[in-house]
Amino acid sequence: MFSCPPCASKALPQEFRNSAEALFPPEGFKEGKGPTVESVKAFANNLGIGENYKQLWDVYKSGTATGIEPTKACGPKAGTGEFLEHFQNNLDLLIQKTWVEKAEEIRKENLLDKVPPFIAHIENGSYSAALIEFGDILEELAYLFFGAQCQKNDFTEYVLRIDPVFGLFWWYGGQISGDQGWIKNADRDMLYALLLLGICYLVDL
């Protein structure tokens, strides 16, 4: 698991820290509760995807979609299946174009194999399973991008030095990866909000 513990929020710039700690409190969640939908929205603004996220979220809440719908700013103007296909194609391309040593090519192939089941979970409305799968995908994607650096304690600080917003995204990824007990019993809207956050960012990447 790449190293982004909740306490790593102290490494975030002050303008990001409040929304980050509202999303994932450094002391953890009480009684198995998870983030709130409101805290996800604020975090999306800091990631620079606030408008795109809001459009997608409004479609979801309007009841006109059973899955993630597109907007002009976030994918082609098409149905749910076509938008998820667009996201999958973008993610596949991102994985394939990442340079790794020849010995690591198998990791890329294994990661590509994880994407279709993840998409299927979303299409089936299995958001808790999808978020767990997404955490695994981001772990592997972090390794492809950063190698063994992603497993070090100072990973968050390292990425923040490269780009603060990019570092903020990987901090989010670290919070949903690994053994997160609150995911299995979390509110569906909140799980969907967290999925939408990461998906919209990767589509815009």
Whether the predicted pLDDT of 78 surpasses 80: no
Q: Taking a C-beta distance cutoff of 8 angstroms, is the pair 160, 14 a contact?
A: no
* Count of other CB atoms within 10 angstroms of residue 13: 13
When the pLDDT of each residue in the chain is averaged and rounded to a whole number, the result is 83
| Chain segment 52-69, per-residue pLDDT in tens | 899 888 888 886 554 454
Residue 190 contacts residue 39 (beta carbons within 8 Å): no
**pLDDT band with cut points at 50, 70 and 90 for residue 36:** confident
Instruction: List, as own/partner pairs, every contact residues 108-115 make where C-beta atoms lie below 8 angstroms and the sequence separation is at least 24, other chains included.
Output: 108/144, 110/140, 111/137, 111/140, 111/141, 111/144, 114/140, 115/88, 115/91
Which residue type, as a one-letter code, is found at position 146? Answer: F
Model pTM score: 0.86
Section 177-188 average pLDDT: 81
**Cβ atoms of 107 and 144 closer than 8 Å:** yes
Q: Say which amino acid occupies 138.
A: L
- Higher pLDDT: 33 or 122? It is 122
pLDDT of residue 55: 85
Higher-confidence residue of 39 and 205: namely: 39
As given in the structure block, the two tokens for residue 11 are: 């490494």
- For 18, counting Cβ atoms within 10 Å of its Cβ (0-12 exposed, 13-18 middle, 19+ buried), the class is middle
User: Which residue has tokens 């990661």?
Assistant: 111
Residues in the chain: 205
Task: State mean pLDDT over 36-46.
Answer: 93
